[in-house]
């Protein structure tokens, strides 16, 4: 491929950010190749008709491996430089902070650089590096206003920054049936510490009549300690008869069909596509009043609570269960986050910076 779009992703998994990336790349009217490690993302890209370039799989964890992470970043930078020389793209799309830090440091041979940010920086040092790298990008697309503000807190790059909320296919979620039985909450997401499934357990402890399902699994390469601690807590009195650890679910609609409410617990969720999916399925959402949920959840479709506070989370769950919104109301809110409209907006940004 000479010309076209070269997208870079550091992870080979097929999570929310990766699904959004695929949706948006498919909307482009020019040749697209995706460079990523082997795994589900590469397979889905090939099935979608995109070109695929293989990158070395590198751990995503930073804690306790700063020197190794710098070596990994140098390796990714070398890979990006090699691909740019070989493919001579018109546009490089760096999907995520790590691809941005790699792509911003290599010559682009005349290609434009667009950064697609899905996450909030994990700390001040990386935040400063991301902001500096964004200064070298021709365009910045952030999937929430919270991410955009973190990337450009002084609002110096407003002309190059575009906030595009990811969306869902409403028809895919419309047939989720109403739940039956005692009140049940669903906590859905990867079993990683920052998603705070541990907080969901502490909220459930405070509502004895509530059942709780925790759906998700650790990410590849994660240490096992967090998931093991969750299992130990669930085995304790007061939880073991009311909490189910479902593991990874290929299709969350079945789990949502049994839930009366989606409980989200991440203290700083960058956006929260699962929140929109729950609303599209007719379920209210209870989530921390921080980050992306502030841009999704209104009083009409759920409740926001103080991040990290189990008492506030329990009160929010009780309020929603006492007066649940109609499914038509939550679905109407989800309609503001259209998958097709988001992809079209991304394609328009690409065209604006290439044509």
- pLDDT tens by residue, 33-92: 999 999 999 999 999 999 999 998 876 665 545 677 788 899 999 999 999 999 999 999
pLDDT higher than threshold 70 for residue 197: yes
pLDDT at 35: 97
Instruction: Give the number of other CB atoms < 10 A from CB of residue 208.
Output: 8
Segment 196-212 mean pLDDT: 97
Kindly tell me the number of DSSP H helices and DSSP E strands found in the chain. 14, 13
109-156 confidence digits (pLDDT tens)? 789 999 999 999 988 889 999 999 999 999 999 999 999 999 999 888
What is the distance between the alpha carbons of residues 97 and 117, in angstroms, rounded to a whole number?
7
Domain boundaries, the chain: 5-167+338-354, 170-334
Does residue 97 or residue 1 have the better pLDDT?
97
Structure-block tokens of residue 143: 């999937």
Does residue 147 or residue 355 have the better pLDDT?
147
278-306 confidence digits (pLDDT tens)? 999 999 999 999 999 999 999 999 999 99
Q: State the architecture of 170-334 in CATH terms.
A: 3-Layer(aba) Sandwich (3.40)
What is the distance between the alpha carbons of residues 159 and 161, in angstroms, rounded to a whole number?
6
What is the distance between the alpha carbons of residues 100 and 129, in angstroms, rounded to a whole number?
10
What is the distance between the alpha carbons of residues 269 and 122, in angstroms, rounded to a whole number?
11
Segment 157-181 mean pLDDT: 92
Structure-block tokens of residue 254: 């079945």
- Of 102-106, 213-217, 262-266, the least confident: 102-106
pLDDT at 139: 94
Segment 259-270 mean pLDDT: 97
pLDDT higher than threshold 90 for residue 224: no
Residue 5: phi and psi, rounded to 5, are -120, 135
pLDDT at 286: 98
* Residue 354 pLDDT level (bands cut at 50, 70, 90): confident
pLDDT at 68: 78
Could you tell me the maximum CA-CA distance found in the chain, to the nearest angstrom?
A: 63
Residue 335: is it exposed, middle or buried by C-beta count within 10 angstroms (0-12/13-18/19+)?
middle
64-80 confidence digits (pLDDT tens)? 456 777 888 999 999 99
- Of 52-56, 260-264, 299-303, 351-355, the least confident: 351-355
Instruction: Give the number of other CB atoms < 10 A from CB of residue 91.
Output: 22
Segment 214-231 mean pLDDT: 89
The DSSP-derived string for 245-305 is EEE--S-THHHHHT-SEEE---TT-S--HHHHHHHHTT--EEEESSSGGGGT--TTTEEEE
The reply to whether 170-334 shares the fold of 5-167+338-354 is yes
- Fold entry, domain 5-167+338-354: Rossmann fold (3.40.50)
3 state SS of 198: helix
Tell which residue, 151, 159, 40, has the closest CA to residue 94: 151
Segment 345-350 mean pLDDT: 96
Over the chain, what is the mean pLDDT?
93
């Amino acid at each position: 491929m000479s010309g076209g779009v070269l997208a870079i992703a550091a992870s080979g998994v097929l999570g929310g950010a990766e699904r959004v990336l695929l949706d948006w790349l498919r909307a482009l009217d020019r040749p697209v190749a995706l460079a990523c490690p082997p795994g589900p993302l590469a397979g889905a890209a090939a099935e979608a008709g995109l070109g695929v370039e293989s990158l070395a799989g590198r751990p995503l964890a930073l804690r306790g491996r700063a020197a190794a992470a710098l070596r990994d970043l140098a390796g990714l930078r070398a890979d990006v430089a090699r691909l740019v020389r070989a493919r001579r793209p018109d546009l490089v799309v760096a999907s995520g902070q790590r691809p941005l830090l790699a792509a911003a440091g290599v010559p682009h041979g005349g290609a434009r650089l667009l950064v697609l940010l899905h996450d909030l920086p994990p700390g001040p040092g990386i935040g400063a590096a991301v902001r500096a790298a964004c200064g070298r990008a021709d365009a910045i697309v952030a999937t929430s206003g919270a991410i955009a503000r973190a990337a450009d807190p002084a609002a110096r790059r407003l002309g190059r920054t575009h906030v595009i909320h990811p969306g869902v296919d409403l028809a895919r979620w419309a047939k989720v049936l109403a739940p039956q039985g005692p009140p049940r909450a669903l906590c859905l997401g990867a079993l990683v510490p920052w998603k705070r499934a541990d907080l969901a357990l502490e909220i459930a402890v405070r509502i004895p009549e509530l059942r709780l399902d925790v759906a998700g699994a650790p990410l590849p390469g994660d240490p096992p300690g967090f998931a093991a601690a969750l299992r130990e807590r669930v085995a304790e009195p007061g939880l073991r008869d009311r909490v189910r650890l479902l593991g990874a679910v290929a299709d969350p609609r079945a789990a949502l069909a049994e839930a009366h409410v989606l409980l989200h617990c991440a203290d700083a969720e960058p956006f929260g596509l699962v929140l929109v999916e729950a609303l599209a399925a007719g379920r209210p959402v209870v989530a921390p009043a921080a980050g992306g949920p502030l841009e999704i959840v209104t009083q009409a479709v759920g409740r926001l609570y103080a991040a990290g506070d189990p008492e506030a989370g329990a009160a929010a769950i009780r309020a929603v269960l006492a007066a649940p919104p109609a499914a038509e109301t939550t679905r109407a809110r989800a309609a503001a986050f259209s998958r097709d409209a988001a992809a079209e907006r991304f394609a328009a940004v690409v065209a604006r910076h290439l044509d």
